[in-house]
Amino acid sequence: MDLTQPSGTLGAVTAPTETTAPTRGDAAPRWPPYDPSPLFDELVGPGGTARPAAEALWEHFARLGPGALTERQAAADREIRAIGVTFTVYDGGVGVDRPWPFDIIPRIIPRDHWQIIEAGLVQRLSALNLFIDDCYHDQRAVTEGVVPADLVSGSPNFRRECVGVDPPGGIWAHICGSDLIRDDQGFWYVLEDNLRVPSGVSYLLENRMVTKHIFPEMFRHYSIEPVDPYVGRLAAMLASVSPSTGDPTIVVLTPGIHNSAYFEHAFLAQQLGVELVEGNDLVVLDDDCVYARTIDGLERVDVIYRRVDDLFLDPEVFHPDSMLGVPGIMRAWKSGRVALVNAPGAGLADDKKVYSYVPDIIRFYLDEEPILWTIPTYRCSDADSRAEVLDNLRELVVKPANESGGYGVLVGSQATDEELITAARQIRDDPNRWVAQPIIQLSTAPTLCEEGIAPRHVDLRPFTLLGPDGAYVTRGGLTRVARRKGSLIVNSSQGGGSKDTWVVDAPADPRIGDGFGTGSDGGVATEGTP
């Protein structure tokens, strides 16, 4: 494959071969009956033997039996309903609150793997921030030929209003929700960097709480990394970017109760112990400071964790008819009198085209090799790549370069002839808008379904914090699971579920190598590989 990935490294991976190695012999429990092959499964190897980190869980399930598991799933569903963990779906324009879908079988990740992922995510977010800051200043990456000029100034996510602004520590994207996937060999990839208003962390925290109530006994068998410290780290990071000295006033800015992530906004405000404000609760006065409308008059706000999109943030600068924003807030931010997290304009670095340059961006700014893999990406603006894409549509996933949230994505292998013809036409008409990637067969995890425990495809969304004082990555992340057999769609709005994710002090499965391409050439190998 002639990939436009400049380094072209990713084709040369030596895949670890997974063999059916009956390591545990006659001790293997007969229940649950589970065979994920030919897919790569997170917890169970071919032949139905649990991976080392999942052994204790699997044995426990065998003791419990199917009836008890179903009961515990029902108890989890009841709890989620009672404590009001919801997400909003839109049906015919009307928002309906649905209970958060949760599968009680946790996904388990060995700590050795996690340390590599953690280092990789911090590396990636650090480099992306240097890139964003550069884009709004000297654009060295352009002048030195790392990325084409069009990638920056031609991007719909480039905000001219942000040019020359210096946010504290030069950090623009303080909170990143990355989407990680594993392929059918168990290799980890970054699929997306979400740098705008990524959501899901509240569900990650709630999933753990429910699991503690549903499987309290499992926490004796495992040493599981806690997820709760995230909130304290988030609070510290928010405080660290405050423009004022002394105790900063921090708020969470929500578009309002009808937003699909409102549950999370309220949850975070509550956990942080700060106010949850809407645009109308804030005002910018002539002194370029932001004030909140409190019962005691106007009170100055220092840090705004905003969950409103860039374009709705300030009707004076962006969409003039936005009722969600705060007139003058961009002025306040540019003058350094309030911190916005994430900063406006940060979304520049999370589109699909920038994604394809991330390995070079990492090398350029950090002078390091990327720790985590990026999926090889064809840019259709390039004539050779475009020809290759058009010839192989059926084997590729075609994505709009600037959209987020899975909109407009076409999976070639599942598309009709008509859809393929339309896609080809769209690519020819506006090649700039499109990228394509090979279809990755996502890994699976055991999931409680009607037919019992069955393999379902999963992805993983960890959250990374980056402030002037340092970085933090959640221990584990939000595992999303497609509940229909064979489906690769994990979005909760489209029937996806979720799982608690355990980073445990247990060895990785020797049968599969480390999942990061150890020994391959081209610099995609991990640093600090055990």
Partner 1 sequence: MTKTSTAKASMTDITTDVPATAGDTTDDAVPERADEVDGERSNTMLLARMAEAVYWAGRHLERAEGTARIVQVHTDAHVDMPVGEDVGWEPLLAIAGVDSEFADRYSEAEDADDARAAEEDVIEFLLHGDGNASSILAALTAARENLRTARPVIPREAWEACNDLWLSSTDHLAEADSREGRVRWLRRVIAGCQRIHGILLGTMSRDEAMSFLVLGQNIERADLTTRVLDVRSDSLHPRGADDPYDVVHWMAVLRSLAAYQPFRRAMPARPQGDSTLRFLLQDDRFPRAVGACLTEARAHLKSLPHSERAQEACQNASMVVASAPVARLAERGLSELLEDVQSALVEIHQCVDDTYFRPVFVGWEPAAAIP
Query: Contact positions toward partner 1, by CB under 8 A?
Result: 81-84, 246-250, 252, 257, 266-267, 269-270, 273-281, 283, 285-287, 289, 291-300, 315-316, 320, 323, 326-327
CB atoms within 10 A of CB 417: 8
Shortest CB 302 distance to partner 1, Å: 9
Residue 168 to residue 336: CA distance in whole angstroms: 9
Q: What are phi and psi of 398, to 5 degrees?
A: -105, 130
Contact assessment for residue 522 and residue 12, using Cβ atoms and an 8 Å cutoff? yes
Shortest CB 168 distance to partner 1, Å: 18
Which tokens in the block code for residue 145? 């030929």
Distances (CA, A) of 169 to 96, 329, 345: 41, 20, 16
Shortest CB 99 distance to partner 1, Å: 10
Shortest CB 31 distance to partner 1, Å: 34
Residue 458 to residue 481: CA distance in whole angstroms: 4
Residue with Cβ nearer partner 1 (243 or 522): 243
**Strands annotated E in 412-524:** 434-438, 444-449, 452-461, 463-467, 470-473, 478-481, 497-504
Residue with Cβ nearer partner 1 (104 or 303): 303
Tokens 């092959």 locate to 37
Residue with Cβ nearer partner 1 (186 or 279): 279
Which tokens in the block code for residue 169? 């520590």
What residue type is 12 in one-letter code?
A
Which tokens in the block code for residue 528? 């600090």
Shortest CB 53 distance to partner 1, Å: 32
Shortest CB 377 distance to partner 1, Å: 41
Tokens 């925290």 locate to 205
Shortest CB 465 distance to partner 1, Å: 20
* 352 DSSP 8-state letter: H
Contact assessment for residue 482 and residue 490, using Cβ atoms and an 8 Å cutoff? yes
Residue 387 to residue 113: CA distance in whole angstroms: 38
Residue 498 to residue 54: CA distance in whole angstroms: 18
Which tokens in the block code for residue 334? 């540019």
Residue with Cβ nearer partner 1 (68 or 83): 83
Shortest CB 88 distance to partner 1, Å: 12
Shortest CB 476 distance to partner 1, Å: 22
Residue with Cβ nearer partner 1 (316 or 369): 316
Shortest CB 280 distance to partner 1, Å: 5
Contact assessment for residue 161 and residue 335, using Cβ atoms and an 8 Å cutoff? no
Residue with Cβ nearer partner 1 (67 or 246): 246
Residue 132 to residue 124: CA distance in whole angstroms: 12
Q: How many CA atoms lie within 13 A of 424 on its CB side?
A: 16
Residue with Cβ nearer partner 1 (153 or 280): 280
Residue with Cβ nearer partner 1 (249 or 526): 249
Closest by alpha carbon to 480, among 395, 408, 405, 409? 405
Residue with Cβ nearer partner 1 (107 or 337): 337
Residue with Cβ nearer partner 1 (5 or 249): 249
